[in-house]
Structure 1
Amino acid sequence: DYVEELAVNITSSWSRAGGLAQAFYLAGAEEALRLAQELWEEDVESSLYCLALARAYTVAARAWAESGGDLLLSGVEDRAREFVAEAGHTWSYASLILREMELHSLRLRAASVAYQLAKSALARGEALRALMHAVRGLSLAEAALDEAVIKAAGAAKAERLCDYARRLALRALPQRPPALLLLLLKLGEESSDLLLRLLAYRYAYNAARAAPVALPAREVGAGEVVVNFSLEAWASWLAAAALAAFLALCVLAVTPKHSLDEG
């Protein structure tokens, strides 16, 4: 069963997770899988897209774990509690605003999924897992609010919002920023989609707030220290992986009558 195998893979990976980027993408995979299951009966195309993201994010998390360039996190219990609370407040506020405006947002639904997963992880004492879901849920809720602002104020406001979100993220960067934060900023700067740019900047800002300030490097001999990482190559690879996964999953759309939980 494709979905069950993916779920087991994600769960087992959490037991070994310790890095910022690895945990960020594992959380994304878990959220995308949950959202895919929720959407299957009502929107097969979106469900398949979420499944593709879940697979791509799982592969990305493994690659980060093996890269030697990830930032190891520890002692995040207090931050996890703070971020889960903030994510909940922001999601509630965004839900109220979008309901009043009669707007439907998939990002707001994804924020709800992330927040619920964050609360569950926190209750189990899995602080890192809770923190990353909360970071993502908070960012998604903020992006949903951005959608509402753009809907009300138009494209001119969108450009100003993007500039503001980018400046927030840049100001939050530590002196030696983790590679994940640089990647998110790069994705925001290179995207032609205003809403995707905003989401990337929201992710970068909140991940920066959640992370410590130092980036560990890997010593490779004779005192030489390197981080073997290319932002451009990584961004291109992740986009290609997501597209390949989506195309592979499209065959499932031929028989959309079965529940994803049943395979």
Structure 2
Amino acid sequence: MDKVLLITGASRGIGAATAWLAAQQGYAVAVNYSVHAAAADALVQRIRAGGGTALAVQADVAHEDQILAMFEAVDARLGPLAALVNNAGVVDLPARVDGLSAQRLKRMFDINVIGSMLCAREAVRRMSTRHGGAHPLGPGWGQGGAIVNLSSAAARLGSPGQYVDYAASKGAIDTFTLGLAKEVAAEGIRVNAVRPGIVDTEIHASGGLPDRARELAPQVPMQRAGTAEEVARAILWLLGPEAGYTTGALLDVAGGR
């Protein structure tokens, strides 16, 4: 039976690359999306055409009720969850801190931080071995698992003059990863984070800087932007048995930046 993996924000970019690679490695993949239904459906069809198992599930992780419904749908249609990738996240238009609105900050932290924490909560409730053989959801649940949170090199760099709020949200993800990893280490759950650097995905366009990856490439020691597939491979390594003794790690995939 395929291991069940839920990836939030998986219709495009790093999430989509991770879903595709995971399916090739034998995971049954739940592809979460918020608004890009066509992209999510196309990815699911591509995975199925390749012989894999995939399910598209809509939910905006800024809303707890939608998170709960998403996990229940995965429970019912794919079975016991073995892995979670907290990939859903947003940036915004470049701005200094003295120009930030409360509305912008609330959106940023609702999605990037609170959404990730609530998804991790639901995953732990399903994965933790602390229930023994009497898991509330029945046989097959409570077998341990792995969580990978998507942080960012911005958590180390601060993103002054552009995305200090985004960087701060990813700093929160780093700390959350460290704390949760220690909290559930004895319950069969490993928790790690990947911190991508400049990666050529659509997120730059959503932040009003479509050429950002190309323009910043000379600042990267490797002299290029990364690809979504390169980040996805790091995520899959952390999810897999090769990383069996790795928890609480913050893995930089940033070309040396």
Structure with greater proportional strand content: 2
| TM-score normalised by structure 2 residue count | 0.32
Structure with greater proportional helix content: 1
Greater relative CO (CA pairs within 8 A, separation 6+): 1
